[in-house]
Amino acid sequence: MSHPKFYWFDTGVIRALQGRLDTPLVNDERGKLFETFVINQMRALNSYRNKRGQFFYWRTRSGVEVA
């Protein structure tokens, strides 16, 4: 791929922009929000400890992400 995957800085912002703060999470949404939360925590720890680690993900040539 020619560009990195984008993660929002705050999962609450995603739901606020969608106008869904008062609606319950659906199962499909939980995984995406949790993934965003985890990668943001990993990036913060990487920064706090002054590491230069990089994070990557894989997907097939057809564009399907490898879980």
User: For 4-29, what is each residue's pLDDT tens digit?
Assistant: 666 666 777 878 888 888 889 888 88
Structural domain that includes position 7 = 1-67
The pLDDT of residue 46 is 92
**Structural domain total, the chain:** 1
Q: In this structure, are residues 59 and 1 in contact, taking their beta carbons and an 8 Å threshold?
A: yes
Who's near 43: CB < 8 A, 6+ residues apart?
A: 55
- Looking at the chain, the whole-number percentage of residues with pLDDT higher than 70 is 85
The pLDDT of residue 50 is 92
pTM value is 0.61
Distances (CA, A) of 19 to 14, 16, 29, 33, 36: 9, 5, 14, 15, 19
